[in-house]
Structure 1
Amino acid sequence: MGHPDQLLPVRRRVRRPIRLLPSRRRLLLPALPGLVRTDAQHGARRGAVARALPRSLDDGLRGAPGATPPGARAVRGPPAARARGVRARAQDDRDAGQSAGRADQAARVLHLLSLRERLHDYLAARPAGATAEELLDLVFVGRGRDPDFGDRFLAALLGADPRFRFEPVEQRWRVRSCDGLVRPLAEVEFVVVDLETTGGVSGQDAIIEIGAARVVGGRLTERFASLVRPGRPIQPFVSRLTGITDAMVAGAPRLAEVLPRFVEFAGTAVLVAHNAAFDVGHLRAAGAPLDAPVLCTIRLARRLLPESRRRSLDAVAVTLGIACFRRHRALPDAEIAAEILCVFLERLQERGIERLDQLLDFQRSAADGRPFIVHVPRARLDEVPAVPGVYHLLGRDGRLLYVGKARRLRERLAAYFTNARGHSPRVLDLIRHVHDFRVTETGSELAASLLEARRIRELKPPYNRQLRGLPRVGFLKLGVRSEFPRLWATERVGADRATYLGPFASLAAAERALAVLGRVFKLRTCPGRLHPAPEATPCLSGQVGACTAPCAAHVDEVAYRAQVDACLAFLAGGDERPLAWLGARRDVLAAELRFEAAAQVQRDIELLESLRRRQQGLNWVVTRQNFAVLLPAETRESAVLYVVLGGRLAVEARLSATADLVSAAALVRERFARYQDTPLTRADVDGTAIMAAWLRDRGAQDGVILPLDGPDAIVDRLDELAVTVRDLGMAGVGPLPPIDALGERP
């Protein structure tokens, strides 16, 4: 048997070309029209790689000179048979690789073709076309390193398709079906239409009046008006609103007679309406063959009147100085909308919009000037409940894009998909990629916030910026490890047995409270280790009298501890002398006509009073950091218990029966001591910040908080917890068993 090292060259020559086989999967673009040049480039590259190899696979297996070192023999069987076996297996592997490559290539080609159709639909909805950057944002989430890749990709994908056209002057892609819309606005006819109906649901409620006005060159030139007999009684509230009664429409023609006359009047003109989805939706539901472009003056008002919050017909008319008479009749309302259109056309010319295609694009554009396109059907939003929960926004292929929480899910999602003006460019980019969503009801906003943070941490959605969504809160921390405790501001609560004051709305708010407490009680606020020495020079606070300067030994440990105790006693509500002293100081300054200084003292008094009120309500929560929160769940058939131990969320349990309550109490007692002095993790920090913000902002009816003074506190309060769970009104399962039925406690 030959030496094993002598067989290595042959084995290398078998494996090295096989590694090159998957490169054929890159041959995707030749399946699209007009890509022969790209195919040639790929073929040339493959040929160069093949020529660079010292020897082909077949040559090496045939035993060409230098293929096998002299004297080398196969491990099994004669060398020729060994070579034939290896050659057959290599051919099988090559065929399998080619088959898999062709299947993968076909799948990628189909994906590219679907992208082409997606871009066609996008451009068809935007007659003025779109830049390459806009189209690439619809296809790719991120940007690559090659600045010219986008142009090459779009040229290969769209250039050979006759439906697309690239405008080199404007640097925009268009679809040829929109070429007829490239007309000057001065030559375009508009027909402004308004309807009066028996209700707001197209296809169910009937039209009772149609009014229209033709606008050419910025002037009203012709009018159309007709009552319509609906074939059903008109509701009293509709008659009160419009003044149209059953008697007025009794002799009117039916819709089948009026609709053809209106369609003939409209012709090929652009249809305009104030809330076009309502008016045009009713006309199309009635069978009107309306293929003309549609313009909505509400959409235009969003862009042209951003300062106006109300965009009803009356509100827009008043903003533009247009008189309103005989409102809620079809023709007068159509005439008002026509006058609004004329004013808008003048303003659009000032913005450089002079063609119809540009105008149609403008009405659908968002704050960044790009179309506000929503892929989620409106009917999906109507299915969402108005309850607290977490929502997941999904892309076309179901991939998770974003996770968020809401106090009311329906309102939050509707704000995403119905507001084209108020979103940031980042949110607009997110909305353009969203094709579906799913929601998780939580029963409370606190539960939604905690679940949101957990999902973001686990799933890492691309549009979520980790920790950016966490609430920003502040605390004041009074250390315990020094003989002269320091008071400072921080954003995090630690399990270090220090005294914490707060939470504050922000770190800046905590720093403002720090400045006042430091001045009033003359506490140390400077960082660093303290080494009292009489020869030391006090810091600026010590020099101006805002601190008793323990660093310079101006105060001993006993006297400084008395200052700390006085501060804590004041915050607990047991000492009024600091406020009395500040009030007297304020009066003296005012008597000396030093009003600015007196106003500053008054602000200090108000801040201290607010801080003391908050601290009295949450002192046992923030200082001891051991408490339980009981909240209703999403189904009203259970409750959710959150237990914070040592400043971190230690237990989260759903209570649907008495046994759940007993199990949760046992778990709390087991974990109590372990959670007191353990360093906080990143997940603990997230939960602590969310819990602190909830404590800061919660209302009087938002759950029940129970302090826990020790490991047995929750067991001793099982009676109270059971009563609280029943008071949460868990309809559907009846009251929990009485506390006597709990049996032996854990």
Structure 2
Amino acid sequence: MPPLRRRIRRPLRLLPRGRRLLLPALPGLLRPHPEHRPRGRGISRALPRALDERVRGLPGAAATGARPVRGAAASRARGVRAGAARHRDARQTAGRDGQAARLLHLLSLRERLHQYLADRPAGATAEELLDLVFVARGRDPDFGDRFLATLLGTDPRFRFDPVERRWRAGACDALQRPLAEVDFVVVDLETTGGAGDGIIEIGAARVAGGRIGERFVSLVNPGRPIQPFVMRLTGITDAMVAGAPPLSEVLPRFVEFARRAVLVAHNANFDAGHLRAAGAPLDAPVVCTIRLARRLLPDMRRRSLDAVAAKLGIACFNRHRALPDAEIAAEILCVFLEKLRERGVERLDQLLDYQRSASDGRPFVVHVPRTRLDDVPPVPGVYHLLGRDGRLLYVGKARRLRERLAAYFTNARGHSPRILDLIRHVHDFRVTETGSELAASLLEARQIRELKPPYNRQGRGLPRVGFLKLGVRARFPRLWTTQRLAADHATYLGPFASLAAAERALSVLGRLFKLRTCAGRLHPAPDFTPCLSGQVGACTAPCAARVDEAAYRAQVDACLAFLDGGDDRALAWLAARRDVLASDLRFESAAQAQRDIELLESLRRRQQRLNWVVTRQNFVVLLPAETRDSAVLYAVLGGRLAVEARLTAAADVVATARLVRERFARYQEAPLTRADVDGAAIISAWLRDRSAHEGIILPLDGPDAIIERLDELTVTVQDLRMAGVGPLPSIEAFGGPA
């Protein structure tokens, strides 16, 4: 039997030149160790011998009768001998430590691969397993089979099917159990937020026989401050967790609660990842309700806990606390188990296979050489995925092109069946750098509209934004939600992240200022029966002539004054109401009042920052181009994208400014086209998230505004060309609000 060091190092010697370990994908696996690098045999073996000869004197001294070294020389020799001994001991210790470290790395790698295969009863190909470990293909085509045979072939937990050429985890009786006999523990975590976030609350519910049983909940002292946005979201403060037990005490109790049960979570990668990082021994398979929702509810665009619960008719209370969220996820699991039985999924191994998006039984095939990814820059841009004959299959955008394409061609994990089918047909790709995410989004939308790739769905990739609209010119202005701007002299509030977010703001503003939100023509009549809002006092009911035009106009003016930041009485009233509710022990109502306050404060900040753009709907956006030798100008007129131009020289600036002036009046009243709607949605989303982007906005008060500031525009274009990747000029250069 070869020595331990040789047996451990032999698989590592199989690594061909050019193959690198994919450490970020599986942290802690097979990390490079100092003992892995080859040693110079002559130096390493000759050094102790040379030191020994120096101690004894000159070579051959004893044979020639030379006198041994005495006195100070002998003392120095003993020091050298002792140093040599320490050197040998340290080298032997390092060798033993290196052997142990290599052994742990290999064992850890086997555990991770076994977990991967245990979650996939259908198995995985050698290429898919190698993609979990390595970044790129090596030059040796037989390397993968030899590596996996050496690593997994002697482990009884793995078996290889030579017919299908797939690796599988060994048969396990526990995975063959009927779902009716399996206990599930649905867990949810709340964390501090930020980098290296810690757990602040653990909540769990046990599901057995399709019913929710025992519960587990505990606050956790994370030993670090909680981020403010987490405190607003969850209601958990630093004071609440100051006296809570640390994770080292709570985690063993949770592990005991979840013993002999299958762990379930909504977004299991997050919850199970935090538990594993904390040291929880999670050896059992993990079920993710998001993955199940992807298979069982394929028509859903969003699969958040709220969205799935609403789809299934499950009520949500006290969201963003660990136990209530775990109970909601447990109810979702119970519904999913019924749906799975209808589809013939009756055993645990069938459930684990079903939840995987890539478990269609076909191998994960990539035709694109992965060395092509080395030439893709990590910059914003648009990519085209091409078929065997060069036919365009798909158009997409990315903040970092290299990372996005690598996600396609690395492994089947996390891809939907539609994307997997796309990847199997892709034989080549090409990329176009754009210089900014806004430019990439606009170019992607235009190319999808013009080229109509078969794997793109028209409009599905566009951002969903929402606005509140207050038609101030009507006798009794109505407040309602919309997804597009129009040049109709109304007051617009937003943009919001989604139409649902705009509807939440609509509910709060409508109740606070008692504005009408109902549709239809208004014919005030004293004998008219108002809608529910009017009956419960959430609206002053102008439809029933309960308020005159002047009084209602005062309500509208109060709302606009609040949004402009000149009137805080509404917030003061809400804060007083919150305190009264809390003193009456009506904590849920007090928490709702606090959420209303935070929503209104956020709405007012957004309105003060973007009102000058959203209300006027005429502005110019300047961004650096991808080559950094020019700038890109986008002119939004009447709420739609009217001009897109590249500016390289002063002549380009003058010509584009004239074009903007010519189109100014025409775009104020022109009917909207599909391209206008797409461009407005993309630019509205960019305005919403502008703090994360570089760019300059120039408001346009009229058709001649861009001509009047032509010199400033030319200087700014030059600054953009010279900025490189550094900071860009601020918006104050144009006199607009910061």
The reply to whether TM is greater than 0.5 is yes
2:358–2:417 CA contact under 8 A, matched in 1: no
* Aligned equivalents of 2:671, 2:45: Cα separation in 1: 83
Question: Which residue of 510, 522, 532 maps to 2:502?
Answer: 510
Counterpart secondary structure, 2:722: coil
Question: Which residue of 652, 664, 686 maps to 1:660?
Answer: 652
Structure 2, unmatched stretches of 5+, are 1-6, 22-30, 47-124, 153-157, 159-165, 176-262, 285-346, 725-738
Match of 2:542 in 1: 550
1:193–1:273 CA contact under 8 A, matched in 2: no
Question: Which residue of 705, 712, 720 maps to 2:704?
Answer: 712
Cα deviations by residue, 1:355-382 (Å, 9 ceiling, x for unpaired) = xxxxxxx9x9944332110000011111
Shift of 1:718: 2.3
* Aligned equivalents of 1:583, 1:443: Cα separation in 2: 46
Cα deviations by residue, 1:54-92 (Å, 9 ceiling, x for unpaired) = xxxxxxxxxxxxxxxxxxxxxxxxxxxxxxxxxxxxxxx
| Counterparts in 2 of 1:350 and 1:561: CA distance versus 1, 3 Å | closer
Match of 1:528 in 2: 520
1:487–1:524 CA contact under 8 A, matched in 2: yes
Match of 2:360 in 1: 368
Match of 1:588 in 2: 580
| Counterparts in 2 of 1:600 and 1:716: CA distance versus 1, 3 Å | same
1:684 paired to 2:676 = yes
Question: Which residue of 9, 12, 18 maps to 1:202?
Answer: 18
Match of 2:402 in 1: 410
1:284–1:290 CA contact under 8 A, matched in 2: no
1:395–1:401 CA contact under 8 A, matched in 2: yes
Counterpart secondary structure, 1:403: strand
Counterpart secondary structure, 2:644: strand
| Counterparts in 2 of 1:688 and 1:194: CA distance versus 1, 3 Å | farther
Task: Please show how residues 19-98 of structure 1 align to structure 2 within 5 Å.
Answer: none
Task: Please show how residues 389-538 of structure 1 align to structure 2 within 5 Å.
Answer: 389-538=381-530
Task: Please show how residues 668-679 of structure 1 align to structure 2 within 5 Å.
Answer: 668-679=660-671
| Counterparts in 2 of 1:503 and 1:295: CA distance versus 1, 3 Å | farther
Q: Kindly tell me the number of residue pairs found equivalent between the two proteins.
A: 455
* Aligned equivalents of 1:506, 1:409: Cα separation in 2: 26
* Aligned equivalents of 1:585, 1:321: Cα separation in 2: 50
| Counterparts in 2 of 1:721 and 1:523: CA distance versus 1, 3 Å | same
Question: Which residue of 669, 687, 696 maps to 2:688?
Answer: 696
* Aligned equivalents of 2:467, 2:136: Cα separation in 1: 57
Task: Please show how residues 318-357 of structure 1 align to structure 2 within 5 Å.
Answer: none
Cα deviations by residue, 1:87-127 (Å, 9 ceiling, x for unpaired) = xxxxxxxxxxxxxxxxxxxxxxxxxxxxxxxxxxxxxxxxx
Match of 2:565 in 1: 573
* Aligned equivalents of 1:555, 1:289: Cα separation in 2: 79
1:722 paired to 2:538 = no
1:634 paired to 2:626 = yes
Which letter does structure 2 place at the counterpart of 1:627? F
1:617 paired to 2:609 = yes
1:273–1:295 CA contact under 8 A, matched in 2: no
CA RMSD of aligned residues (A): 4.3
* Aligned equivalents of 1:601, 1:289: Cα separation in 2: 60
* Aligned equivalents of 2:20, 2:555: Cα separation in 1: 76
Counterpart secondary structure, 1:376: coil
2:475–2:549 CA contact under 8 A, matched in 1: yes
Identity %, equivalent residues: 71
| Counterparts in 2 of 1:240 and 1:574: CA distance versus 1, 3 Å | same
Which letter does structure 1 place at the counterpart of 2:633? L
* Aligned equivalents of 1:639, 1:481: Cα separation in 2: 40
Shift of 1:698: 2.4
* Aligned equivalents of 2:383, 2:268: Cα separation in 1: 31
2:126–2:167 CA contact under 8 A, matched in 1: no
TM-score if structure 2 supplies the norm length? Answer: 0.55
Which letter does structure 2 place at the counterpart of 1:604? D
Cα deviations by residue, 1:435-459 (Å, 9 ceiling, x for unpaired) = 1111111111111111111101111
* Aligned equivalents of 1:280, 1:561: Cα separation in 2: 67
1:533–1:551 CA contact under 8 A, matched in 2: yes
TM-score if structure 1 supplies the norm length? Answer: 0.55
2:20–2:135 CA contact under 8 A, matched in 1: no
Which letter does structure 1 place at the counterpart of 2:582? A
2:619–2:637 CA contact under 8 A, matched in 1: yes
* Aligned equivalents of 1:668, 1:245: Cα separation in 2: 69
* Aligned equivalents of 1:410, 1:429: Cα separation in 2: 21
1:562 paired to 2:356 = no
1:495–1:680 CA contact under 8 A, matched in 2: no
Cα deviations by residue, 1:567-592 (Å, 9 ceiling, x for unpaired) = 11211111111111111121222222
Shift of 1:527: 0.6
Counterpart secondary structure, 2:671: coil
Match of 1:380 in 2: 372
Which letter does structure 2 place at the counterpart of 1:394? L
Which letter does structure 2 place at the counterpart of 1:534? P
Shift of 1:540: 1.3
Shift of 1:195: 4.1
1:240 paired to 2:28 = no
Counterpart secondary structure, 1:593: coil
Which letter does structure 1 place at the counterpart of 2:623? L
* Aligned equivalents of 2:135, 2:616: Cα separation in 1: 62
Cα deviations by residue, 1:207-250 (Å, 9 ceiling, x for unpaired) = xxxxxxxxxxxxxxxxxxxxxxxxxxxxxx97735476434896
Shift of 1:494: 2.3
| Counterparts in 2 of 1:526 and 1:726: CA distance versus 1, 3 Å | same
| Counterparts in 2 of 1:539 and 1:387: CA distance versus 1, 3 Å | same
1:650 paired to 2:664 = no
2:137–2:370 CA contact under 8 A, matched in 1: no
Which letter does structure 2 place at the counterpart of 1:465? R
Counterpart secondary structure, 1:455: helix
Task: Please show how residues 139-178 of structure 1 align to structure 2 within 5 Å.
Answer: none
Shift of 1:504: 0.7
